[in-house]
Amino acid sequence: MNKRSSSLPDRETMIKALQERDRSFEGIFVTAIKTTGIFCRPGCRARMPKLENVEFFATAKEALSFGYRPCKLCKPMEQYGEVPDWLKSLLKEVHQNPGIKLRDFELRERGVDPARIRRWFKKHHGMTFQAYLRALRINQAFGTIKLGEKVTASAFDSGYESLSGFNKAFSDAAGFTPGKSKSNHIINITRILSPLGPFLAGATEEGICLLEFTDRRMLETQIKRLKKRLNSELLPGTSKYFEPLSRQLQEYFEGKRKEFSIPLVTPGTDFQKKVWQELQTIPYGKTRSYEEQAKAINNPKAIRAVARANGDNRIAILIPCHRVIGKDGSMTGYGGKIWRKEYLLELERNNM
């Protein structure tokens, strides 16, 4: 007998998300339409069905087990934002050679429509493909200057034909001139997919400093604070930490991993660092109240301050602020949205 998951938000919330085509509910539910026999993502652009013909499932697997088939428009069997097959080989080439320049005719020679890749990058990264290539070149140049190469050599190695053009592009992207590279820093950023929607991940040379859902309301504020704390700018790029982070997150969501082994960079006040360190001692599948967290850091009256520090955590899941709940067991205070908090706690309970 097919069974329906009990981890869904209430129907009113899901209907509101459906009507607003709210993509932040990716991974929380899929919408099944009784009259057509198909199921869709929350953000599907297809014609809005009549609400009496709609039912909701927690996963595509559940919808399939009840006899529904996936929508051909929004493709709910694929992870949202997943790199399509037609783009994978090109991105592999770009990441292996971050100084590459690719004009439209060169993209066509590789079998890629320039307009198509432009649209995909704008939709999923908020920038054009050419802007992404420029950011990678600047990132590469920053690294070579940091290691001692002269600015002029880095400019020409990065494909720029003039030093002035390189200086302007570098300053526009990095927020400081190439000559200040040795005293400033770059945070490499990338997107990492998950069943709950995409993350924005950031890394320095020392470890992961950012892992937030891309739709988090406070994301811009957190980025500004991080940039100020680390005297850094954010640029798309690669990091030795991104592959293991992506792999370990996948294992976590599959219920195969309970602890992470990625080095973390957590700039903050002494109090914030103490709270974040204590968060990492909460066992997988367990929860604590804010009051219990305050006692754990030997400051039992600092309940509100602990809650604020939890909210200022910039590294979701690895620093498990989702394991802190209200004293009465209520799901409160999660910047990644309460539905995700409920999902994560149920995931952990089911895999203890």
The residues annotated with a catalytic role in the active site are 321
In order, the DSSP letters of 277-300 are HHHTTSPTT--EEHHHHHHHTT-T
Q: In angstroms, rounded to a whole number, what is the distance separating the alpha carbons of residues 31 and 55? A: 6
Q: In angstroms, rounded to a whole number, what is the distance separating the alpha carbons of residues 27 and 42? A: 9
User: Taking the CB of residue 219, how many other CB atoms lie within 10 A of it?
Assistant: 16
- Give the DSSP letter of residue 23: G
Report the Cα 207 to chain-centroid distance in Å. 16
Hunting for tokens 């920053």 — which residue is that?
A: 142
Kindly give the pairing relationship between strand 199-203 and strand 324-325.
Answer: unpaired
**Surface-to-core class of residue 208, CB atoms within 10 Å of its CB (0-12 exposed, 13-18 middle, 19+ buried):** buried
Whether residue 192 contacts residue 242, with contact meaning beta carbons closer than 8 Å, is answered with yes
Own/partner pairs for 8-14, CB < 8 Å, 24+ apart? 8/56, 8/57, 8/58, 9/339, 11/56, 13/339, 14/42, 14/56
- Give the DSSP letter of residue 322: G
∠ CA 1-74-43, rounded to 5°: 90
289 sits in the region (left: phi over 0; alpha: psi -120 to 50; else beta) called beta
Return the structure tokens found at 297: 């850091």
| CA neighbor of 62 nearest in space, from 6, 100, 101 | 6
Kindly give the pairing relationship between strand 69-70 and strand 38-40.
Answer: parallel
Crossing angle of the two packed helices 303-311 and 270-279, in degrees rounded to 10 = 80
